Amino acid sequence: MAKYMLIMRGTDESYANLANADFNEVLETMGKFNDELIRAGVLLAAEGLDDPTEGVVVDFTGETPVVTDGPYGETKELFAGYYILDVASKQEAIEWAKRAPLTAGTKTEIRRVPSIEEFPQDNEWIQKERAWREQTGQL
């Protein structure tokens, strides 16, 4: 099994469609999909993100970090939410992503989440992270 992150990216079209949607219907549809993921035993985490106007960007392009209040960037650059799934393959992650009941225009990026075992185990910082994960029940 491997972890995959499904990153939902909004577009101008999807944000417009969502603004016109019945919120209770959206909750019902997403709730059913989330329940499917739970029953299949593949859901590790899922969250929607707040409106981009509430966010900030910390930009490290210059010598010192610059903080800018939202909204920021182009719509296509913004994450709307994410899922983390524990599935057997990238193909299985793709199949789940294709079934997600997302607003028309939304795009989903799928990225594998490397496990801690893939990093040098003799590294001091990896050892500290492993100990923290064990303490918190993540390993």
- Mean pLDDT, range 115-133, rounded to an integer: 93
pLDDT in tens, 29-55: 999 999 999 999 999 999 988 877 788
Of 2-16, 54-68, 81-95, give the range with the top mean pLDDT: 81-95
Identify which of 17, 37, 39 has the alpha carbon closest to the alpha carbon of residue 102.
17
**Sorting pLDDT into bands at 50, 70 and 90, what band is 18?**
confident
Q: What are phi and psi of 52, to 5 degrees?
A: -60, -25
> In sequence order, what are the residues at sequence separation of 6 or more whose Cβ sits closer than 8 angstroms to the Cβ of residue 44?
3, 84, 85, 86
Claim: this prediction has a pTM higher than 0.85 = no
Identify which of 91, 79, 69, 11 has the alpha carbon closest to the alpha carbon of residue 48.
79
pLDDT the model gives residue 57: 83
What gap in Å lies between CA 113 and CA 19, rounded to an integer?
A: 32
Q: Does 4 or 69 have the greater pLDDT score?
A: 4
pLDDT the model gives residue 59: 87
- Bridge partners, 86 (sequence order): 3
> In sequence order, what are the residues at sequence separation of 6 or more whose Cβ sits closer than 8 angstroms to the Cβ of residue 61?
none
Domain that holds residue 36: 2-135
Q: What are phi and psi of 131, to 5 degrees?
A: -60, -45
Q: Are 86 and 42 in contact (CB under 8 A)?
A: yes
**Count of domains in the chain?**
1
User: Average per-residue pLDDT in the chain?
Assistant: 89
CATH number at residue 123: 3.30.70.1060
Q: Is the pLDDT of residue 3 over 90?
A: yes
pLDDT in tens, 67-89: 988 766 666 667 889 999 999 99
- Mean pLDDT, range 119-128, rounded to an integer: 94
**Sorting pLDDT into bands at 50, 70 and 90, what band is 124?**
very high
